[in-house]
Amino acid sequence: GNYAQFVGSASNITINPATQSITWSAPGTQTWVTGGAGTFSLGSASDTAGSVVTFASSTLSVCTVSGTTVTMLSAGTCTITPTAPALGNYAQFVGSASNITINSATQSITWTAPGAQTWVTGGAGTFSLGSASDTAGSTVTFASSTLSVCTVSGTTVTMLTTGTCTITPTAPALGNYAQ
């Protein structure tokens, strides 16, 4: 024909990496470990590209992450975010952050209640409750729930009459320990 071959100008067409997704279930609520520095596992995660999903903490005062192991630094909310790296034809993908609650540890009180006491002639005798300690190292307080029989001030009990004197030790919430 009347037309010569013509080669048009080249066009660059960008082929973007595919979008990834991450499959991961965050662990449930954890409890602070007495003595501190307890750990828990994040379990396994997978992504579309088959790469190794990494985890990071955005609450470094509460928890840190190494691999899939979380170290609890305090009670509170531990926020963990999974990330799938770019691999092959897949783009990097940052998953949704998950909040994991780290509850305060339960305390215990070590105290030996004094034995039976003898009414003091003339009344208003006193006796000592001795010392008590709790897991958190706080100051344990004492209270009487039988105020007609006895009262408490610090660790001293004042006998008001004969009967059953009921004393309850209490350890306050402190740091990573609940009351």
Largest Cα–Cα distance in the chain?
135
Q: Which own/partner pairs from 65-69 qualify as long-range (CB within 8 Å, at least 24 positions apart)?
A: 68/41, 68/42, 68/43, 68/44, 69/39, 69/40, 69/41, 69/42
Could you read off the pLDDT of 106-159 as tens digits, one per residue? 888 999 999 999 988 776 789 999 999 988 888 999 999 999 999 999 999 999
Q: What is the pLDDT of residue 25?
A: 95
For the cut 90, the answer to whether the pLDDT of residue 177 exceeds it is no
Q: Rounded to an integer, what distance in angstroms lies between the CA atom of residue 143 and that of residue 132?
A: 13
Structural contact between residues 156 and 83, judged by C-beta atoms closer than 8 angstroms: no
Which pLDDT score is estimated for 106? 83
Rounded to 5 degrees, φ, ψ at 156 are: -105, 130
Q: What is the pLDDT of residue 36?
A: 65
Look up residue 14 and give its amino acid: T
pTM above 0.85, yes or no: no
Q: Are 57 and 65 in contact (CB under 8 A)?
A: yes
Tokens of 144: 């009487």
Structure tokens at 67: 């691999």
| pLDDT at position 4 | 83
From the number of C-beta atoms within 10 Å of its C-beta (0-12, 13-18, 19+), residue 134 rates as buried
| Confidence band for 7, pLDDT divided at 50, 70 and 90 | confident
Q: Which helix (H) or strand (E) holds 65?
A: strand 63-66
Buried b (16+ CB within 10 A) or exposed e, 43-56: eebebbbebebebe
- Cβ-Cβ contacts under 8 Å for 41 (sequence gap 6 or more): 27, 68, 69, 70
At residue 85 the predicted structure's pLDDT band, cuts being 50, 70 and 90, is very high
The type of residue at 165 is C
